[in-house]
Amino acid sequence: MADTANSTPTSGIDRRSAIAGLASISLAAPALPSAQALEQEHPDAALLILADRLEMASAQARVLIIKSQEEKTLDADRAWEKAADIELEIVHQIEGIPARTLHGLRVKAKALQWCYGDDPVEFGEGQTTDVRLAAQIVRALLTL
């Protein structure tokens, strides 16, 4: 006769079923959300993704520029020029997407700053009030 403390329960989940259920749980990392899903979560997701790509491309271009200056070869020059072309393409993509939030406007400001290189965003002395204000807005966005 079976002891009730050691018998298998007649209702609910037994130990074997529980272990089998745990074994079937996927421990893999969750999939990254698609760009479409990101856009549903953040109105400027496409711009934010492009900002990350621009930052990575710019870092790679800086490395290639240094390499080009050190090696002084045609291949090294072509490599950094190609990297600069990739940066420019990303900036053109940023230009073509309207910003919907402050985050998106910051991406646009960063793309504009890329156009100026290491120089501050200035539209020239003696410009009209509207141009000076536009430069101030861009500089403010870059510091947020």
| Residue 30 binned pLDDT confidence (cut-offs 50, 70, 90) | very low
**pLDDT tens digits, residue range 111-120?**
988 988 877 7
pLDDT at 130: 80
Q: According to the 3-state scheme, what is the secondary structure of 43-99?
A: CCHHHHHHHHHHHHHHHHHHHHHHHHHHHCCHHHHHHHHHHHHHHHHHHHHHHCCCC
pLDDT at 22: 40
In a domain, 11, yes or no: no
In a domain, 3, yes or no: no
In a domain, 91, yes or no: yes
In a domain, 136, yes or no: yes
Average pLDDT over residues 84-107: 94
| Residue 19 binned pLDDT confidence (cut-offs 50, 70, 90) | very low
Residue range(s) defining the domain that contains residue 115: 35-143
In a domain, 139, yes or no: yes
In a domain, 10, yes or no: no
The number of domains in the chain is 1
- Please say if the pLDDT value at position 93 is more than 90: yes
User: pTM of the predicted model, to two decimals?
Assistant: 0.65
Q: Other CB atoms closer than 10 Å to residue 108's CB: what's the count?
A: 20
In a domain, 9, yes or no: no
